[in-house]
Amino acid sequence: MSDDQTRGRHRATDSHPAEPAGTGKTPAAQGTSFEVQGSAQIADPERGGATATQGALDGTGRTALVTGASGMLGGDVARVLLARGWKVRVFQRGLAAVAEREGVDEVLGSVDDPEAVARALDGVDDVVHLAAKVSFTGDWADFVRVNATGTRVLLCQAQNAGVHNVVFVSSPSVAHEGVSIEGAGAEPANPQTARGNYARSKAAAELLALSMDGQRELKVAAVRPHIVWGPGDTQLVERVVDRAAAGRMPDLDHGAAMIDTTYIDNASEAIVRALERIDAVHGRALVVTNGEPRPVGELVARMCAAADVPAPTFSVPGSVARFAGRVIEKVWPHVPARFRGGDDEPPMTEFLAEQMSTAHWFDQRETRELLDWTPSVSLDEGFARIAEYYRDHPRPGKHTGSVSLDRVEEVADDQRARAEDSSVASEAKDSGVTTDLQSVRDR
């Protein structure tokens, strides 16, 4: 690892990380600035009432709006809200499966359309905002329109509708600067240093959302679930499995980077818990994970084993992948569809290379204390559920349905050994990453 990377790496400290401060404007990003109304009201752990012992919001008789419910996480959040007593309305551009299955109210529209948003908010008490443009590539203007402008429209209309509680679902990428994050908390979102158009636009949106906390009796909390996955996931698991099956999924730096992820049930429960605990957490950003860091090579291999496809067999240096990602991003829009192998996304981007070759795991003590919450599904149980899903939903023409949990564990052990043998893993050991994992899991 270079000296620059070592100096830039985020590490845990004895004090809580700084929270975003209201400055009147968010930093400019790629030539576009975002006006932020008012200043952020940052939660103070010493202030009266904002403690982990404060009572939870009861959803009985209340209506919650979930934006972006056609996605896996949004749909699961809607289901958890229903189970906790809320009436649920969902709002997104296309039909959401949860609306049909659970019989929830549904309004179609885009978050940047004030009239559609106003219709969706009619009679609503609480909001969970997940709608976003999520992609490794795309035009900056499109990310701004959906992620930043859409958030502004939603929050302004929520104020007009008399909504008092909003949970903004963000991402740890808003504070990722391309270097390792090891045991840190919710570092401040920064559109100037976040990597890629998605992360930059989400950083601007998060700062905007938190700046509106305290205005017109509105309470806003930001929750950053990290790398959410689960059965039926098309954003991560399916892409990994399909690319590995096609022989187009390399390990970077032997898959040694330690990464913490979030199983879908844990992510949705934590998001709803933030709404229930809004009095304790408003004005804050909280990172949510399983609290079980693993080498990225192990995570990929276990996904592949669950789907009964070969794990990656070749490794590429992270620095080479970053350079290749920059080049591919520039030429990909000009590559004819017939040469893309059925992928809309490029096989590698600079952001993806950084995510796969740098450590990012987080201190979960503050999150769990403030939310009064712990994950209900372990990493091992999550992979067992993935394997069960693929047994019940074979991949057409590829999957035999015969994968066993023993094979999942066998491949995981092999990947751990490969990571331990790599020079990158040796460096990680020297920095205390792999030798203190149990204490991280216990947090």
Question: Band of the pLDDT at 239, cuts 50, 70, 90?
Answer: confident
pLDDT at 302: 92
CATH 3.40.50.720 in the chain is located at 3-226+264-288
Among candidate residues 333, 249, 337, 340, the one with its CA nearest the CA of residue 296: 249
pLDDT at 396: 66
Between the CA atoms of 195, 198, 203 and 205, what dihedral angle is there, to the nearest 10 degrees? 170
Among candidate residues 140, 129, 131, the one with its CA nearest the CA of residue 200: 140
DSSP string, 7-40: HH-EE--SSPPPPP---SBPPPBTTB--B--S--
Binning the chain into helix, strand and coil, the percentages to the nearest 5 are 45, 15, 40
Contact 237, 245 (CB under 8 A): no
% of the chain with per-residue pLDDT over 70: 75
Between the CA atoms of 49, 290, 293 and 167, what dihedral angle is there, to the nearest 10 degrees? -60
pLDDT at 10: 46
Among candidate residues 169, 68, 65, the one with its CA nearest the CA of residue 112: 68
Query: Encoding tokens for residue 432?
Result: 């205390």
pLDDT at 193: 86
Residue 378 has pLDDT above 50, yes or no: yes
Question: Band of the pLDDT at 148, cuts 50, 70, 90?
Answer: very high
Helix (H) or strand (E) holding 224, with range, is strand 219-225
The Cα–Cα gap between 24 and 402 comes to 58
3-state secondary structure of 63: strand
Q: Pick the range with the lowest mean pLDDT from 17-21, 70-74, 300-304, 329-333.
A: 17-21
The Cα–Cα gap between 105 and 53 comes to 33
Correct CATH for 3-226+264-288 of 3.40.50.720, 3.30.70.20, 2.40.10.10, 3.40.50.300: 3.40.50.720
Residue 288 has pLDDT above 90, yes or no: yes
Residue 442 has pLDDT above 70, yes or no: no
* Number of Cα atoms under 13 Å in the Cβ half of residue 360: 25
Residue 4 has pLDDT above 60, yes or no: no
Among candidate residues 299, 306, 301, the one with its CA nearest the CA of residue 391: 306
Residues whose CB falls within 8 Å of the CB of residue 83, separated by 6 or more in sequence, listed in order: none
pLDDT at 7: 32
3-state secondary structure of 328: helix
Query: Encoding tokens for residue 328?
Result: 């591919």
pTM for the model stands at: 0.77
Question: Band of the pLDDT at 152, cuts 50, 70, 90?
Answer: very high
Q: Where are the alpha helices (DSSP H) in 223-345?
A: 237-245, 264-276, 278-281, 296-306, 318-331
pLDDT at 420: 57
The Cα–Cα gap between 49 and 393 comes to 48
pLDDT at 138: 81
The Cα–Cα gap between 371 and 373 comes to 5
Interval 86-110 mean pLDDT: 87
3-state secondary structure of 85: coil
Question: Band of the pLDDT at 215, cuts 50, 70, 90?
Answer: very high
Query: Pairing relation of β-strands 258-259 and 294-295?
Result: antiparallel
Query: Encoding tokens for residue 332?
Result: 């990909």
Q: Is 390 a catalytic residue?
A: no
Question: Band of the pLDDT at 52, cuts 50, 70, 90?
Answer: very low
Handedness of CA 186, 189, 193, 195 (dihedral sign): positive
Task: Please compute Rg for the chain using Cα positions.
Answer: 21
Contact 186, 224 (CB under 8 A): yes
Q: How many helices (H) and strands (E) does the chain have?
A: 18, 16
Question: Band of the pLDDT at 25, cuts 50, 70, 90?
Answer: very low
